[in-house]
Chain A
Amino acid sequence: QQQVKQSPQSLIVQKGGISIINCAYENTAFDYFPWYQQFPGKGPALLIAIRPDVSEKKEGRFTISFNKSAKQFSLHIMDSQPGDSATYFCAARGGGSTLGRLYFGRGTQLTVWP
């Protein structure tokens, strides 16, 4: 059972455009929602993260929007660049007895065309 559902599976965006990746979850005990960026042959790199008491967080060109009532969150990449081409993973951190472990979405492969 996939605890965090991510869409789309792949995304092609033109340089300068906005990339949007969406995630949904069911477990209301999740208490921390990070996004990771992974390049081929590398480990996932923490990009930006949000807690459920905040509706939006922005860091440079990257913004997380969080809708607690809908149990959805999304990553927006403004002014997308070819160097942003990578696989993006959303995740949610378990609470209670599963505190610490991250549940990952299946990933979105982003391609930014120059």
Chain B
Amino acid sequence: DSGVTQTPKHLITATGQRVTLRCSPRSGDLSVYWYQQSLDQGLQFLIQYYNGEERAKGNILERFSAQQFPDLHSELNLSSLELGDSALYFCASSGTSGSEQYFGPGTRLTVT
């Protein structure tokens, strides 16, 4: 158990809909990272937050957005969903060094 929690575990929704994925980092970790894992793209970095502020952005679509709240939990919002958005979405957290990133169990999103 990494100490990172994610909800929900599974999500099935229709094209065009909007969903919110939630992540709670390990106790004391200020950085939260979001990654997408799919068969064709592998594990891809989406976005990083540090203590409530956006720190880095990767291959994140404009339809996707994220935020980190004062209690350090983070949410990833996916809108206007397409079939190709079906994937595993992982959240990871790290301490101030940013070196060791610990991953949560993921949310499996299926868009039908």
Contact = CB atoms under 8 A, between A and B. Distances in A.
Interface stretch (B14-22, B63-71, B79-87, B101-109): B101-109
Contacts of B100: 34, 46, 49
A105 B44 CA distance: 10
Contacts of A46: 100-103
Given A98-B56, A101-B45, A101-B58, A32 B99 contact: yes
Chain A contact surface mostly: mixed
B99 A101 contact: no
B50 to A, nearest CB: 8
Interface residues of B, number: 25
The SS class assigned to the B binding surface is: strand
B103 A45 contact: yes
A44 interface: yes
Interface residues of A, number: 22
Among B31, B43, B48, B100, chain A packs the most CB atoms within 10 A around the CB of: B43
Contacts of A93: 98-99
Contacts of B42: 104-107
Given A49-B99, A93-B99, A98-B56, A43 B2 contact: yes
Given A100-B55, A100-B56, A101-B58, A89 B43 contact: yes
13 contacts: A34-B99, A34-B100, A34-B101, A43-B106, A44-B43, A44-B90, A44-B103, A45-B103, A100-B50, A100-B55, A100-B94, A104-B44, A105-B42
Given A46-B103, A103-B45, 17 more contacts: A42-B106, A43-B4, A43-B106, A44-B90, A45-B103, A46-B100, A49-B100, A98-B56, A99-B98, A100-B31, A100-B50, A100-B56, A102-B33, A104-B42, A104-B43, A104-B44, A107-B43
- List of 6 A-B pairs having minimum Cβ-Cβ separation, nearest first: A43-B103, A104-B43, A101-B45, A100-B98, A44-B103, A106-B42
Interface of B: 2, 4, 31, 33, 35, 42-45, 48, 50, 55-56, 58, 90, 94, 98-106
Interface of A: 32, 34, 36, 42-46, 49, 89, 93, 97-107
